[in-house]
């Protein structure tokens, strides 16, 4: 299994605009649930710390394989979301790493949006 984490800072001249843009990112990515083969888990978080070095949005996804993650990158639904959000980000950071599925299962809260 591979975990794919992406964090963004979003555009906005004021806090209400940035909050609305962050909420839009969340909605768009959550629309992928159940639509991408190999996507086992999807979670989107919005920053509440408001520290100057924090990102606004984090996406945490788990895929059943590296191949599934690669297919996600080109999946029509993912490309739709990327197009819809193309003008909203000012920064993007990404980390991909392998995860032991047994460790993930033991650590996942009951409210997790697991798709398997």
Residue 101: pLDDT band with limits 50, 70, 90: confident
Q: State how far the Cα of 6 lies from the Cα of 56, in Å rounded to an integer.
A: 11
End-to-end CA distance of the chain: 12
Average pLDDT, the chain: 92
Say how many C-beta atoms besides its own lie within 10 A of residue 19's C-beta.
15
- The per-residue pLDDT for 111 is 42
The mean pLDDT of 89-102, rounded to a whole number, is: 93
Q: State how far the Cα of 69 lies from the Cα of 75, in Å rounded to an integer.
A: 10
Q: Taking the domains of the chain in order of start, what are their residue ranges? A: 2-106
- The per-residue pLDDT for 50 is 87
- CATH domain 2-106 topology: Alpha-Beta Plaits (3.30.70)
- The per-residue pLDDT for 114 is 52
Residues found in the chain: 116
Q: State how far the Cα of 94 lies from the Cα of 110, in Å rounded to an integer.
A: 26
Task: Using DSSP bridges, classify how beta strands 2-10 and 57-63 pair: parallel, antiparallel or unpaired.
Answer: antiparallel
Between vectors from CA 78 to CA 56 and to CA 39, what angle results, nearest 5°?
90
- Global pTM reads 0.86
Instruction: With H, G, I as helix, E, B as strand and everything else as coil, classify residue 3.
Output: strand
Q: pLDDT tens digits for 33-77?
A: 999 999 999 999 999 998 999 999 999 999 999 999 999 999 999
Cβ atoms 38, 115 nearer than 8 A: no
The mean pLDDT of 82-92, rounded to a whole number, is: 96
């Amino acid at each position: 299994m591979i975990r794919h984490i992406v964090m963004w800072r979003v555009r906005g001249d004021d806090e209400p605009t940035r909050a609305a843009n962050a909420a839009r990112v969340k909605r768009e990515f959550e629309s992928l649930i159940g639509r991408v083969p190999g996507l086992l888990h999807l979670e989107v978080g919005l920053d509440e710390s408001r520290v100057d070095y924090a990102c606004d949005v984090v996406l945490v996804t788990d895929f059943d394989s590296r191949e599934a993650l690669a297919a996600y990158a080109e999946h029509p639904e993912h490309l739709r979301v990327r197009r819809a959000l193309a003008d909203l980000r000012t920064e993007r950071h990404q980390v991909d790493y392998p995860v032991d599925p047994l460790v993930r299962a033991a650590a996942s809260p009951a409210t997790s949006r697991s798709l398997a």
